[in-house]
A and B are shown apart, each in its own frame.
Chain A
Amino acid sequence: MTCLPAQTDKKLGLVIDLDTCVGCQACVTACKEWNTGGHMAPLTDIDPYGGDADGVWFNRVHSYEHMTEMGGRTVNFPRSCLHCETPACVTVCPTGASYKRASDGIVLVDEDKCIGCKLCSWACPYGAREFDTDVGVMKKCTLCVDRIYNDNLAEEDRVPACVAACPTSARHFGDLGDPASAISQLVAERGGVDLMPEMGYKPTNKYLPPRAHTTRAASVPAPALEAVRAEGGFLGWVDRMLSN
């Protein structure tokens, strides 16, 4: 049923640290590798070795330049399903293929019911859903539902593939509905934010903004042969003489 559960027992989700993400794409390939054989398999690639490659991915890492008055920096930005509390992608589904689980809040697609109308991908402001043209159905992040409850895996491996793969621990997994959980504490401590809060879909996943710039170094590097700040003493005298 595409009506949403009034509340979910847990709110499983990811917290992504934009301060430490280095944009290595390890989470992207780990996601693809696991999920092309997982719950939503296959993650079809069309013409993968040709000049017009296309394919289904659940996780994509963008790179942005964020310029503020404090200076600029590169921010690597992983984008995937945020498992929203009120996801429009679920309610617009005409067949009941899209659903949000009452137990843990994970948003899933039942591939056997999907008619491939693509309306859910229009309703998602984040571009989390990708259509598989080969199978004719919509696909999306499952939060590795086939890993996190998998008794065949060692307990430390029962996390989404992207979290397990991250070399800088920029990705965290846990219950965001429990204020005492480590992941909720991290969000509180670092001021985690929602993406597009004005859309009102209440995303479960949170993003930790990059830490503030320090004042230890000069905020604006000086152009060649020019002092950063007015120098006194001998260098100041040299500067004044040469400037005349």
Chain B
Amino acid sequence: MHPAFSVVFFTTATGAGYGLLSLLGVLAGQGFIPPDFWLGLTGMGLALGLISAGLLSSAGHLGRPERAWRSFSQWRSSWLSREGVASVATFIPAGLFGIGWVVLGRTSGWVAVAGLLAAIGAVATVCTTGMIYASLKPIAQWHSRFTLPGYLIFSAMTGCVLLNALLQGFAVGSNTLLAAALLLTVLGWGWKLATWRYNDRLEIPTTANTATGLAGGTVRSMEWPHTEENYLLKEMGFRIARKHSVRLRQITQVLAFALPALLLVAAFALPWPYAAVSSMLAAIAQLAGMLVERWLFFAEAKHTVTLYYGR
């Protein structure tokens, strides 16, 4: 599949943003993070900024963005429509929580409820994003049991590493949060390795034989219907990353998992402000690594239409 940058950025940014929002909603709403105007403003600004930038980027990917409002209508059947509804609905409790926690400096009563609702909305939105990909049967690498948990784990991981960087930056970090960020990074690493292992051993039942209805023997593409690349090959037949997949997987592992894990371990031992710098570098490296991971997620996915082209 062609990795359109708008979609790669969208899923990475909103994943991190919703992860951060849900953690802020739960932890701050329950009083684990002290109400502080500048900390709250930076945290909520970062979370909602990542979410908004991602959503705007995905709208830019549309052929007719001015009609995007229509996508709220088909939530009964379409995961993309559900994603649209969930993402917009989440802004309501998130906005209320932001006002209560950041502006009014409250963490109890309706602010706690709004924080909890924002967290639920954030998790629901990430689930709908994961299901858009997991529900596509023609793409075996996505239509697997690894896709939805992957989206949830990576959202929690990037959100937690960002929250740790934020709290360390304001000198209110804790070893518990540092440990959670480290654990989630290791979990994410393991999940990605397991996903790659599963995909590499995938035996896809759909072949050129079943695609053409020609039973038995071998079906070899002799001649294409067109001499130039068409929409199908541009959108579904991407091959650059498959050629470089080994190197790109190494880059992903270093940037998204190994380096952040090392920097987080270092943050345990280092005094402030070095622990804060280390935590922030971990967050930056991880987001860059996740962009490569998401790029590979698209580029390594093989659509059944490529069978018609002998690929």
Measuring CB to CB, which residues of chain A are less than 8 angstroms from any residue of chain B? 1-4, 18, 25, 28, 52-57, 60-69, 74-75, 77, 79, 88, 90-97, 113-119, 121-127, 130-133, 135-138, 193-200, 207, 209-210
The reply to whether the CB of B304 lies closer than 8 angstroms to some CB of chain A is yes
Leading 4 A-B pairs by shortest Cβ distance: A116-B63, A136-B63, A68-B217, A127-B305
* Chain B 218-233 interface 0/1 with A at a Cβ cutoff of 8 Å (1 = within): 1111111111111110
In the complex where A117-B80, A137-B63 touch, is A95 in contact with B71 (Cβ < 8 A)?
A: yes
Query: Once the chains bind, are B78 and A91 in contact (CB under 8 Å)?
Result: yes
Measuring CB to CB, which residues of chain B are less than 8 angstroms from any residue of chain A? 1, 61-65, 67-68, 70-74, 76-81, 84, 132, 135-139, 205-206, 208, 210-232, 235-236, 303-305, 308-309
Bound CA–CA A242/B95 (angstroms): 95
Which of B62, B137, B309 is A125 in contact with, Cβ under 8 Å? B137
> Using Cβ atoms and an 8 Å threshold, which residues of chain A touch B221?
62-64
> Using Cβ atoms and an 8 Å threshold, which residues of chain B touch A25?
225
In the complex where A64-B212, A66-B214, A94-B84 touch, is A196 in contact with B304 (Cβ < 8 A)?
A: yes
Beyond A127-B232, A133-B231, list 10 extra A-B contacts (CB 8 Å).
Answer: A28-B225, A88-B136, A93-B74, A94-B74, A95-B73, A96-B73, A114-B64, A123-B137, A197-B210, A199-B137
Query: Once the chains bind, are A115 and B236 in contact (CB under 8 Å)?
Result: no
In the complex where A52-B228, A53-B228 touch, is A137 in contact with B77 (Cβ < 8 A)?
A: no
Can you report 24 A-B residue pairs in the complex whose CB atoms are below 8 A from each other? A18-B212, A53-B227, A61-B225, A62-B225, A67-B217, A75-B212, A79-B308, A88-B135, A88-B136, A93-B78, A95-B67, A95-B73, A114-B64, A114-B67, A117-B61, A121-B232, A122-B136, A127-B308, A130-B231, A130-B232, A131-B231, A195-B212, A195-B213, A198-B206
